[in-house]
Structure 1
Amino acid sequence: MAQPRPEFIIDSWDFSSHPAQPIDQDFNAQPNRWFHIQRDLPGISEWLLSVGIPEPLIGAVLEEDTRPRFERNNDGFLLILRGVNLGEGERPEDMLSVRILYYKGAIYSFRKRPLRSVGRLREQLQQQQGPESLQDLVVMLVEELNDRLEELLDVVEAEMERLEGDDNGSTAERQRQLTQLHKRMLRLVRFVRPQMTAIERLASDAPKWLDPENVQWLVNERDSVQRELESLEMLLEQVWMLREHLQQDVAEKMNRNTYWLSVIAGVFLPISFLTGVFGINIGGMPGVEHEHAFWIFCGALGIIAVVEFLLLRRLRFW
């Protein structure tokens, strides 16, 4: 009697022959098999125990919050990676976790939400293409994760170039967009940096499980992650440079406006003083009985203003 597929097993493939064949029954752990598992459904722990997975490894793959890492054990390794979140309405920089457990010749991968990179591999297998062995599966999954990350970095870099070349937008709006872009990059760096370390450690230990060709492919992917991390760090430096440039522009505008206000106040200070004095409504004010006194006073104020203007100009106040 055929064994029903457990609800938590999303997909399963047997790589004992080429091309790989889907597993429709006998969902027991055997070498050269891949089980892709939905990790938030009941019954997973019991099934993993029944196929011989130690409890500490079960706890590691089912843990809710993880960061990228690589751990070797006597019978294989645990690799936890993050992939770009390409779900509809989601933020790509909120990277999704995929846990890969290689144990006694079989691979178990765990997800909570769909990951496009794993979905592409499953589609290729359904078309009798894609990885030819479990070794290829690990390397191609790392490659898919790197490709999606590189595509996201291209978008971030294009957005950065747009902000740098936007001389017509308001400073406040540019600063707001720059802050949002900065937050996105910080979320990426949070996972990409430990991911590079995890892949680097996997590449160092890879000769124990992978053939020389796949080891070299994995080394290439490690270099790709290193390059992506360096690109992120360079973009973060550009963010700080552009932020300082915008702040300097704001400071220069404030200084220039303050300067001109000071010049105007300096020109009108003696004029205001005279108008205040002659505005006193008490007896004895000169010119009260003179019919042309007002116009004479206005002319005197104008002459004072011109003299002050020429004096400030001569002293190179601007």
Structure 2
Amino acid sequence: MSGFGYRVTDGAVERVAVKEALACTADFVWVHLTSNEAEAQAWLRDAAKLDDYVVDALTASETRPRCEAFADGALLNLRGRSSEEMASGDPLASVRIWAIKGRVYSVTRRPLIGIADVETQIAAGTIVDPGDFIAAVATAITTDLDPHVADLGDELDDCEERLDANRVFDLRRVVTRVRVTAIGYRRFLSPQRAALEKLAALPGAWLAEDDRRHLAAAADRAARMTEEVESIRERASLMHEALTDLRSEQIDSRSLIISIIAMIFLPLTFITGVYGMNVADLPYAQEPWAFDAIMGLCAAIAATVLGYFAHRHWFQK
């Protein structure tokens, strides 16, 4: 069984294996599982004696942030950054928590960065009950995610400063990545805020007033990040449109140059084509000055066409 456990007894903290976590009486027990679904289900059902509904909720393959009161405890799903590479459409890993008085069970499929910070706090003796634990998890997740959301905004700021038609392709890749990441964050941050707010309002003696305040603060932080990623998503959309317009202008400018060149050479091609025919009786074809005359005529036509385009300001469009 992959995972670990902590027992807190009279202020003393002990880290134990999962199989030993429930062996002795303790003031507070935390069991964290990182194993596959089948192993976790078997242990939670047979060793921890949890209700089937709770077991299914803790081991579900797909979860969104939510909070649900059940019996004398609460089920909580949260999302945070993982140390493993995540898909762009699903950038946050989940942690599922079942909390009752004196005990907390948590399950993750991927390693969550915030869990390490919670381990540090519980080893230091600052977490002594389920309320402290959940508040610590929520705070650790939002604290870890906050600077990465800010980095997305900074990347867009850099793109806006470097906005140039010659960098369209590079900038579009950055903007698209930022936009996809912001959409993925927003997908989970909005329900996560609602889940934390609901948990902070749940009745129950196992949640102290300071725990509720910490949960409310984490919910406010999640709400602020939700607003920020929404702003980033909108800015990225506008930036993408601006880059598309720049690219269109660049294509139009090049098409204009090609059209001008074609307009210049069209009459010249006609004249040289006529006098290049291998037929008799072409006017002045036998005259010694014919070549110079044709070249002069072509130059005059080219200059006239260029002068017309310059007079119409085509070169400035």
Aligned to 1:18: 11
Q: Is the 8 A contact 1:77 1:102 kept in 2?
A: yes
Find the residue that maps to 1:131 and give its secondary structure. Answer: coil
Q: Is the 8 A contact 2:100 2:206 kept in 1?
A: no
Q: Is the 8 A contact 1:30 1:106 kept in 2?
A: no
Cα shift readout 1:159-208 (whole Å, capped 9, x = no counterpart): 33333323476322222232233332232223222222211221232666
Q: Given the alignment, which residue of 61, 67, 72 partners 2:69?
A: 72
How many aligned positions are there?
A: 309
Find the residue that maps to 1:253 and give its secondary structure. Answer: helix
Whether 1:226 and 2:220 are equivalent positions in the alignment is no
Q: Which letter maps to 1:147?
A: T
In structure 1, C-alpha distance between the alignment counterparts of 2:3 and 2:297, rounded to whole Å = 95
In structure 2, C-alpha distance between the alignment counterparts of 1:25 and 1:303, rounded to whole Å = 96
**Structure 2 alignment gaps of length 5 or more:** none
Q: Is the 8 A contact 1:8 1:37 kept in 2?
A: yes
- Quote how far apart the aligned CAs of 1:246 are: 0.9
Question: Map of 1:207-246 to 2, 5 A cutoff?
Answer: 209-246=206-243
**Structure 1 alignment gaps of length 5 or more:** 1-6
Whether 1:175 and 2:172 are equivalent positions in the alignment is yes
Q: Is the 8 A contact 1:86 1:116 kept in 2?
A: yes
Whether 1:308 and 2:288 are equivalent positions in the alignment is no
Aligned to 1:275: 272
Aligned to 1:98: 95
What is the alpha-carbon root mean square deviation over aligned residues?
A: 2.7
TM score, norm. by length of structure 2:
0.86
Aligned to 1:156: 152
Q: Which letter maps to 1:267?
A: I
- Quote how far apart the aligned CAs of 1:72 are: 0.8
Higher mean C-alpha deviation, range 136-145 or range 201-210: 201-210
Q: Is the 8 A contact 1:101 1:108 kept in 2?
A: yes
Higher mean C-alpha deviation, range 246-255 or range 190-199: 190-199
Aligned to 2:39: 42
Find the residue that maps to 1:233 and give its secondary structure. Answer: helix
Q: Which letter maps to 1:234?
A: S
Find the residue that maps to 2:77 and give its secondary structure. Answer: strand
Identity %: 23
Aligned to 1:144: 140
- Quote how far apart the aligned CAs of 1:43 are: 6.7
Q: Is the 8 A contact 1:121 1:130 kept in 2?
A: no
Find the residue that maps to 1:286 and give its secondary structure. Answer: coil
Q: Is the 8 A contact 2:64 2:188 kept in 1?
A: yes
Find the residue that maps to 1:229 and give its secondary structure. Answer: helix
Q: Is the 8 A contact 1:28 1:51 kept in 2?
A: no
- Quote how far apart the aligned CAs of 1:267 are: 2.4
Aligned to 1:284: 281
Structure 2 CA distance for partners of 1:28 and 1:35, relative to 1, 3 Å: farther
Structure 2 CA distance for partners of 1:267 and 1:60, relative to 1, 3 Å: same
Higher mean C-alpha deviation, range 71-80 or range 151-160: 151-160
Q: Which letter maps to 1:34?
A: W
Aligned to 1:4: none
Aligned to 1:200: 197
Aligned to 1:3: none
Whether 1:116 and 2:113 are equivalent positions in the alignment is yes
Find the residue that maps to 2:10 and give its secondary structure. Answer: coil
- Quote how far apart the aligned CAs of 1:58 are: 1.0
Q: Is the 8 A contact 2:7 2:21 kept in 1?
A: no
Cα shift readout 1:228-280 (whole Å, capped 9, x = no counterpart): 11111111111111111111111001111112222222222222222222222
- Quote how far apart the aligned CAs of 1:27 are: 2.5
Structure 2 CA distance for partners of 1:306 and 1:114, relative to 1, 3 Å: closer
Q: Which letter maps to 2:10?
A: S
Find the residue that maps to 1:170 and give its secondary structure. Answer: helix
Q: Is the 8 A contact 2:82 2:110 kept in 1?
A: no
In structure 2, C-alpha distance between the alignment counterparts of 1:103 and 1:132, rounded to whole Å = 13
TM score, norm. by length of structure 1:
0.86
Q: Which letter maps to 2:96?
A: R
Aligned to 1:293: 290
Q: Which letter maps to 1:129?
A: G
- Quote how far apart the aligned CAs of 1:81 are: 0.8
In structure 2, C-alpha distance between the alignment counterparts of 1:289 and 1:90, rounded to whole Å = 79
Q: Which letter maps to 1:299?
A: G
In structure 2, C-alpha distance between the alignment counterparts of 1:173 and 1:8, rounded to whole Å = 43
